[in-house]
Amino acid sequence: MQRKKLGRTDLEVSTVCLGTMTFGEQNTEQEAHAQLDYALERGINFIDTAELYPVPPNAATQGSTERFIGSWLKARGGRDKLVLATKIAGPNGSQAWIRGSKHNHDAVNLRAAVDASLRRLQTDYIDLYQLHWPSRNVPIFGANQFDPRKERDGVAIEETLRALADLVREGKIRHIGVSNESPWGVCEFVKQAEIHGLPRIATIQNLYNLTARAFETTLLDEVCYREDVSLLAYSPLAFGQLSAKYVDDPQARGRLTIYPPTWSPRYLRPAVFEATREYAALAREHGLTPAQMALAWCYSRWFMGSTIVGATTLAQLGENIDAAQIQLSDEVLKRIDEIHGRITNPGQ
């Protein structure tokens, strides 16, 4: 398993990261431990979670994912061999079970969130602490146009960085990152850190897959290249769409059928199905499964720090990891770009 350094840090992570948001909802604690064991056997040293998980989020299960990882760490040991990442939820009035309806990226909430995550994870420190989504108004989770009418009071980036700096000094977190961020957000985080001598973001965890390539089309790739911020790509299979299982069988069991359509409407757009059919046909034409091609493409991108893969079975996880060894031909890459040119970012 190839490893890369994140940003300007000393964190050296596997190019495949184990995503865990199914732990506690689609996966039991025993199944979660089996996935973690298998991931380590395959050379993965990077685990990503969040205080919000599992998904879909609700008060009854919130924090279960971190608890499952914590019980595994306590039983297995080896914390020093792992890079553990988690996230603080951004403001969302409908998720009042997370420190009340006013939770945000201020000092009080950051400290409370970090301390709670440390307890659940049964560890003394977090290697990479990320802001799950911005405090300010920004289009995320399927919205793709900025709307100034949705402006809200947000916590200033400098204030957030100062609170994070305190937690770094105390040894509770080592490095920081952002998620679901924009080019402006990355630039502002870097600028405020440099002006005030505060911790610098090392990573950005954003949506990236064959149906959602805004990381390139918004010039986030250039920003991150010039500012040494590594991409952690989430949803590389578009909630399972790019495995083509829903194209092959509309009733296939998975997130897009067991949860209400309102949970992930962007992946149910007709154009996503249209693009998936074309990508699946291309993969099969070249002797690959649709999932193998979609993941191999992600793993190969020049700007990729690590790709976050999630699975509900060990067989799925094995296929996801195996794809890291596949090198796509120039012909396949050319055809992928041709499809993207005709059906551009339908899942963004």
**Token pair recorded at residue 58:** 């609700």
Which amino acid is present at 39?
Answer: A
> Which residues have CB under 8 Å from 197's CB, separation 6+?
none
Distance of CA 72 to the CA centre of its chain: 21
Q: How far apart are CA 112 and CA 114, in angstroms?
A: 6
Question: Which candidate, 203, 234, 175, places its Cα nearest to that of 53?
Answer: 234
- DSSP class of residue 300 equals H
Cα torsion 303, 272, 239, 206: sign? positive
* Catalytic residue (choose from 53, 129, 267, 279): 53
Q: Which residues, listed in sequence order, are joined to residue 88 by a DSSP beta bridge?
A: 131
Strands 3-5 and 12-14, how do they pair? Answer: antiparallel
For 154, 239, 270, the CA distances from 235, given in Å and listed in that order, are 27, 6, 18
For 1, 32, 54, 126, 327, the CA distances from 315, given in Å and listed in that order, are 18, 14, 21, 29, 21
**Token pair recorded at residue 145:** 């146009």
Distance of CA 29 to the CA centre of its chain: 21
Distance of CA 127 to the CA centre of its chain: 15
Active site residue 279: no
**Token pair recorded at residue 164:** 């994070």
Active-site residue list: 53
